[in-house]
Structure 1
């Protein structure tokens, strides 16, 4: 049985007074780090460890699997959208009550926001938060060459610490032994085991990546934990993953500063099968500044929750549920009238698509949406938009708000008479990006904003409350 997260539990109250941690990374995307990470999280969780999960980079899907695996919210660590100081504070604050920290990297170990420096990479995050790298690679079609591969990654950055190596998709014991001997003799890194390929353990994918954790059965994580325990040297991992633990350490200070000018508020947050892409850090920020969160479903609920002061429609998969969203005419009308009355609405990516006039699916079927804005969107799986965003928003005051976030979508505007109110400098984004559409106090953007890094965005939204 997995252990549920107890936010009031301090490290001193956990049976094992030691603390462990590592970050799982790989040669490239698709090498097996997501499944391995989820398996390790579930395995250590059911062994009684309080596991704190993290994800390097801008991602909503992997954290959903982390939470399913260890029953604790996963946090994103990103040095492109946040300052290094903020990332360290976020990590320290949210991992304080755990005695096991497991983070999952993004893409390959050294991939990030730049081709010439480490910004936004897993390697940078690992050094910033002081975790060693558990390195996984696909060993299915190599033997001695695996040593050259691992050696290249090990020596690329001498300041990076490695916990050890795992060879994925290696079925035979003889093959695994050849890889072990090659890696250990030529690199000096511990070989922690191999994982045979099992098609029954694969997680299905769609256009934005793996299916979400909420779409999986709990048995999948149990089977992954069994798979990991049966093939990896768990005792060696624990021995190598021990990290310093300061005795009687006080809880770290909050990553945000208290404000006496913000009054308590209630935000209605869309969360259902169509809208899932919400950073846990954003929800934490809402609550820190006195917010009460009411989740609602634009698919199933008839109207906006009573008592809400403003609405937040995050990203997700509205294109997969366009028919259900369109058929819920009372909710569409409720949101349209809300925005037309001047009450604040913030929508990002999929939420923005929902606020438009219509959404056309991959099959070419057009469905009516909320109609608060006049733009129309169309899904095209062959047309991807991907990248970090550094935007300026004219708040109507003396201060210009800088917003950082990212875009990742396969939809585009088929018609857009709206004028963008957010722009990026060509220095930060080439070519320049225009985003952010405003109607009264409703703001919609393709960019997923990282709210937590700066409270100015939340304070601007709250300033619109009547």
Structure 2
């Protein structure tokens, strides 16, 4: 086992914890190539920025989508060759998934990993009241160790003096100060930050964040907290990823095409690692830029993303859309989440109410909405698919502003909101050997789904070779 690492938490959403996290990561990455980051919760976009800052994948720590044990094993496994570890929290420190408890909160994960917390406080509209905020967060749960605070959006030297004087009675270190003029704006849109693939100015932003990191924090106190150390009294860190391998990898490896471009970029690194460990050969490709699917593939994986922002380009690639529909109708296995479902639909109506033809496999129109559908879902399978058995239960997460105009006669899932007792609705398509749904799955919590996808691809390859 390892000791060391630090959690960055906010006293609420919007206080600047992502800016603080990226400033620390960018500065650390100039000191070391072995900086491992993590993100609490199901978010896809913040981890993209982490990866650009550190050059390493950022892994999600989500005890609902996976489990408490998986969170601990994932942290230990991914840190085994790192020098520093940093975990970015979600929402406010004690804000859990249900709003009634701190389950899946930053505090929950900090306790699971036994890590200290650096609390980011927005000081933009307060002075002495900062004392009450920090005191409350420090004492609410004695199991959570607040190692220090970062004062963000400090207006002036006089403002800083007032804040410092107020905090002095708490005997808690101020480990960072960011001024109002230090703000580095990251562009956003209807689902959060704009993904990194769409930001040509990102290298300049990261350079500015690194400078901010070097000049705004007390590194003599932070480095000991961030540094990882092997624990001599505990067993060594697990050498294999924290997931179940139920069978020997197939030979030869099935080729699974992964749609990866600006339109399709929402993938948990764990999911791709699990597919590789199960024996799949992953073949990245771009539905935006390529006129044909990759050659000799045995399956397709369409992740989430922003197809609505690139609907015109996706629609213009008519030859590819036709080829994909023919392949999928002929039995090529495929798994599509959220943006992938939108792409496989008949029509996508974008934010400006313009219709665009898509692949046309699913007999439904997808329309962008002003309302956000968001939250954890317990999904019980009521119609079996190429990946799921009837009666099976998985945990997933919805995060979308589009809706289909119809459901299949028998949807794949019966959904239930996290913390609710009543059914939430039905969702998901199973057609030919394709499963498409708005539900995002983390296969650390259901590796059998990844195993089923690899098995389906392997069988397709065997049939393809026999027919050749």
2:249 paired with 1:256: no
Partner of 1:15: none
Q: How far does residue 115 in structure 1 lie from its aligned partner after superposition? A: 2.4
CA contact (8 A) 1:342 1:440 kept: yes
In 2, the alpha carbon distance for the partners of 1:122 and 1:141 equals: 24
Q: How far does residue 261 in structure 1 lie from its aligned partner after superposition? A: 4.8
Partner of 2:463: none
Partner of 2:396: 405
2:449 paired with 1:457: yes
Partner of 1:133: 117
Aligned 1:145-164 pairs, distance under 5 A:
145-164=129-148
Partner of 1:8: none
Partner of 1:299: 288
Normalising by the residue count of structure 1, what TM-score does the alignment of the two structures yield? 0.91
CA contact (8 A) 1:422 1:436 kept: yes
State the secondary structure of the residue aligned to 1:107: strand
User: Which of the numbers 145, 163, 174 marks the counterpart of 1:191?
Assistant: 174
Q: How far does residue 119 in structure 1 lie from its aligned partner after superposition? A: 1.1
Q: Which has the higher contact order (CA 8 A, sep 6+)?
A: 2
2:171 paired with 1:182: no
CA contact (8 A) 2:315 2:357 kept: yes
CA contact (8 A) 1:68 1:214 kept: no
Which whole-Å deviations, capped at 9, do the CAs of 1:293-346 have from their partners, x for residues lacking one?
A: 001111111111112111000000000000000000111112111110011111
Partner of 2:37: 53
Unpaired segments of 5 or more residues in structure 2?
Answer: 461-468
State the secondary structure of the residue aligned to 2:13: coil
User: Relative to structure 1, is the Cα distance of residues 398 and 454 closer, same or farther in structure 2, using a 3 angstrom cutoff?
Assistant: closer
Normalising by the residue count of structure 2, what TM-score does the alignment of the two structures yield? 0.91
Partner of 1:231: 216
User: Relative to structure 1, is the Cα distance of residues 104 and 317 closer, same or farther in structure 2, using a 3 angstrom cutoff?
Assistant: same
Partner of 1:7: none
CA contact (8 A) 2:34 2:84 kept: yes
2:329 paired with 1:340: yes
In 2, the alpha carbon distance for the partners of 1:425 and 1:196 equals: 44
User: Which of the numbers 113, 116, 137 marks the counterpart of 2:97?
Assistant: 113
CA contact (8 A) 1:418 1:437 kept: no
CA contact (8 A) 2:84 2:227 kept: no
Q: How far does residue 365 in structure 1 lie from its aligned partner after superposition? A: 0.4
User: Which of the numbers 188, 191, 200 marks the counterpart of 1:208?
Assistant: 191
Partner of 2:69: 85
CA contact (8 A) 2:6 2:225 kept: no
User: Relative to structure 1, is the Cα distance of residues 454 and 288 closer, same or farther in structure 2, using a 3 angstrom cutoff?
Assistant: same
In 2, the alpha carbon distance for the partners of 1:140 and 1:386 equals: 29
Partner of 1:4: none
CA contact (8 A) 2:66 2:443 kept: no
Cα RMSD over matched residues? 2.1
CA contact (8 A) 2:345 2:364 kept: yes
Aligned 1:10-25 pairs, distance under 5 A:
20-25=4-9
Worse-matched range after superposition: 279-288 or 167-176 = 167-176
Partner of 2:465: none
In 2, the alpha carbon distance for the partners of 1:56 and 1:427 equals: 17
Aligned 1:431-446 pairs, distance under 5 A:
431-446=423-438
CA contact (8 A) 1:304 1:335 kept: yes
Which whole-Å deviations, capped at 9, do the CAs of 1:250-285 have from their partners, x for residues lacking one?
A: 441421233435413221000001000000000000
State the secondary structure of the residue aligned to 1:159: coil
User: Which of the numbers 352, 367, 370 marks the counterpart of 2:341?
Assistant: 352
Q: How far does residue 141 in structure 1 lie from its aligned partner after superposition? A: 1.2
CA contact (8 A) 1:195 1:228 kept: no
User: Relative to structure 1, is the Cα distance of residues 190 and 175 closer, same or farther in structure 2, using a 3 angstrom cutoff?
Assistant: same
Partner of 2:18: 34
In 1, the alpha carbon distance for the partners of 2:389 and 2:408 equals: 28
State the secondary structure of the residue aligned to 1:268: strand
Partner of 2:373: 385
In 2, the alpha carbon distance for the partners of 1:42 and 1:94 equals: 19
